[in-house]
Amino acid sequence: MEMNIEHIGLAIKEPTEIENFYCELLGMCRIRDFILYKDVSEVIFGIEEDIQVSFLEKDGMTIELFVSEQTNKNPIDHICISVTDRELLIQKAQRMGYSYTRIKRPEYDLVFLKDKSGNLFEVRSTYYEK
């Protein structure tokens, strides 16, 4: 049986994060937007509210963003992405006011970015730069 990840679903608090963090910083393209009505969101997530949803894509990776105050964050949850120029992405993130953490290690540095809702992204270099 073959299995592929179709998309990753994340909750964000501010709709401006769609354009700022996901489109401008990460370079994702907005595919479509819709409302997940409360009768459906209650059955799926136990949240009785209409939720704005946006699908974004870049290089075959699709993220489904749910705009809601109801975020359920586990501090270990994260998404790992690789980019060709990690330092350029970090510099851009700093200019845009996003926090990042760098952990120096002998083999390669670990770098983590956070959006303003606390979603954590491990950022690797395609070339494992140090």
Domains of the chain, earliest start first: 8-125 (3.10.180.10)
> Residue 66 in contact with residue 72, Cβ under 8 Å?
no
Q: How far apart are CA 36 and CA 107, in angstroms?
A: 44
Range 90-104 burial, b when 16+ CB lie within 10 A, else e? beebeeeebeeeeee
Per-residue pLDDT tens digits for 36-71: 999 999 998 888 999 999 999 999 999 999 999 877
Please write the tens of the pLDDT for every residue from 2-45: 767 889 999 999 999 999 999 999 999 999 999 999 999 999 88
Q: What value does the mean pLDDT of the chain take? A: 91
Spatial CA neighbour of 101 closest among 92, 93, 112? 112
pTM of the model: 0.86
Let me know: does 41 contact 50? Beta carbons within 8 Å: yes
pLDDT (0 to 100) of residue 87:
93
